[in-house]
Structure 1
Amino acid sequence: MKPNNWVGICVVMILLTSMKSVLADDDYVVYSPHVVKGQTELESRAYAVSDSRPGFAPSNGFLTSLGHTFTDYWKSEVYFTEYQHLPGTGNTLYGHEWENTFQLTDRGQYAVDWGFLAAYSQHILPGIADTLEFGPLIEKDSGRLQQRLNILAEKDLGSNATMRYALRGGYALSYRVTNQFQPGFEAYYRPIDNAHQIGPIIQGELFFPNGKEVEYALGVLKGLNNGAPQQVFIARISYEFF
């Protein structure tokens, strides 16, 4: 790995470790179906719940991952730290995850771009089942406007598994003022928790020489019903290079 890449990784890791806590379920992201062959990515996502009701506060999460795109259509990513802090507990290592993104169509080939996500999560806490998650990833670009939709199903595995599937959906809309500044909003729905959330997002991409780039996103999600936290702060950052 080139020395400049190590510098970038160190900068990202400093930012990541400055964020307190963790992420148990990888809910606060709307995936793109697109992959870039040969690109390596170091990524982190974090959230923090602000809600005075019992059972919600203080709960927060944090994860870090390392991924690489091996072909024109396949990206594989390993989440090597997944921590969570739930009410009445401290920060706890929750598990690890192996995630794969498959790009099914070329950009602009059809009315919308299609991909598929398949992920396996190994939970190390006692009594928590491992999970398999899968589903379609959809994206539509219309000039400066971009929309994404994910519809994912989760199934428990192992001795602690239940027979039912848990669905969740995510929708994102953003407007590219510049590459560095792309405001928009994200919305999430989890039927199993009866949780509806929506809120503004600011995101962007910073480009550097030799194909390096940093992507960021910051947002605040509001709960639309009693099953959702009243307010969730989310942050995402990734460093990508060849």
Structure 2
Amino acid sequence: MMNSPYRWLKCFLIVQLVVFSSVLLADDDYVVYSPHVVKGQTELESRAYAVSDSRPGFAPSNGYLVSLGHTFTDYWKSEVYFAEYQHLPGSGNALYGHEWENTFQLSERGEYAVDWGFLAAYSQHILPGVADSLELGPLIEKDLGRLQQRLNLLVEKDVFANATLRYAPRAGYALSYRVTNQFQPGFEAYYRPIDHAHQIGPMLQGELFLPHGKEIEYAFGVLRGLNNGAPQNVIIARMSYEFF
């Protein structure tokens, strides 16, 4: 029985390093954001995924990114993704780009029927022929006792060189049940109309509290494609270390 949060952290890092040892990132959309921020909190986050699909056009691929964020006010959190990589089968790893992401908390917890926030992000892509992009949209959360629901409705638009006229909407939904703070099972679902991709799968997440106000948040799960436009299976893992 692992009774130390540091042992949980060590095990989770090993999972990320083993499963996602070849890194790729091509728009990691596998996260459902919370609208809430905590003033003065700093966050170091890593996200990773691995695609498994034997069909033509769905070559196996992995992804990894690392970010550093800080909440400057009661309503504004800013985060910089400084390591976003891409690896395609038969090629080496390449830095894909950087991203500046901002979360704005628009309401207090429980102030309205649902809690509101807004996401605004700018991605700078450095690979040849890939346009930079803006992503905007509302973040929604609802707590009912031990049950928590989140919904993101985001739209991405290419900007500057190589930009197209297309808009790329996407939606993410997450539901979790808090058995304990450390153990919160649930599921996540994702929809990207531009790719005709529908995915859903079980998730396990939790919070591990450390001394001096520090904490670790983790999430691990498997998404299953519901239609031909989505990969058959995607393993996802997320971890953040938060401190003041």
| Residue number in structure 2 paired with 1:217 | 219
Partner residue, 2:133: 131
Tell me by how many angstroms 1:118 deviates: 0.3
Residue type of the alignment partner of 1:208? L
Give the aligned partner of residue 165 of structure 1. 167
Check 1:196–1:100 CA distance in 2 against 1; reply closer, same or farther (3 A cut). same
Deviation for aligned residue 1:92: 1.7
Indicate yes or no: 2:220 matched with 1:191.
Answer: no
Correspondence for 2:60 among 55, 58, 68: 58
Aligned Cα RMSD in Å? 1.9
Q: Distance in 2 between matches of 1:54 and 1:90?
A: 21
Is the contact made by 2:116 and 2:139 (CA closer than 8 Å) also made in structure 1?
Answer: yes
Equivalent-residue separation in structure 2 for 1:42 and 1:233 (angstroms): 21
Look up the equivalent residue of 2:78 and give its one-letter code. S
Compared CA separation, residues 12 and 126, structure 1 to 2 (3 A)? farther
Counterpart-to-counterpart distance in 2, 1:203 and 1:27: 17
Q: Which residue of 2 aligns with 1:3?
A: none
Asked whether the 8 Å contact 1:101–1:115 carries over to 2, the reply is: yes
Please list, as runs of the form range in 1=range in 2, the aligned pairs for 1:1-242 lying within 5 A after superposition: 19-20=20-21, 21-242=23-244
Distance 1:140 1:86 in 2: 38
Deviation at 1:158, TM superposition (A): 1.1
Q: Deviations over 1:149-196 (max 9, x none)?
A: 000000001120011211000000000000000000000000000000
Equivalent residues, number: 235
Task: Mark the CA change 1:209 to 1:183 in structure 2 (over 3 Å): closer, same or farther.
Answer: same
Task: State the identity %.
Answer: 81
Q: How many angstroms does 1:60 deviate by? A: 1.7
3-state SS, counterpart of residue 187 of structure 1: strand
Residue identity opposite 2:231 in structure 1: P
Distance 2:202 2:220 in 1: 9
1:73 is displaced (CA, Å) by 0.2
Partner SS, residue 195 of structure 2:
coil
**Contact 2:141/2:150 (CA < 8 Å) preserved in 1?**
yes
CA distance in 1, matches of 2:134, 2:73: 23
SS at match of 1:192: helix
Equivalent position amino acid for 1:22 in 2? L
Contact 1:12 1:239 in 2 (8 A): no
- Deviation string, structure 1 residues 91-126 (Cα, Å, up to 9, x no partner): 221000000000000000000000000000000000
Aligned to 2:3: none
Moved more, 53-62 or 159-168: 53-62
Q: What is the deviation of 1:11?
A: 6.6
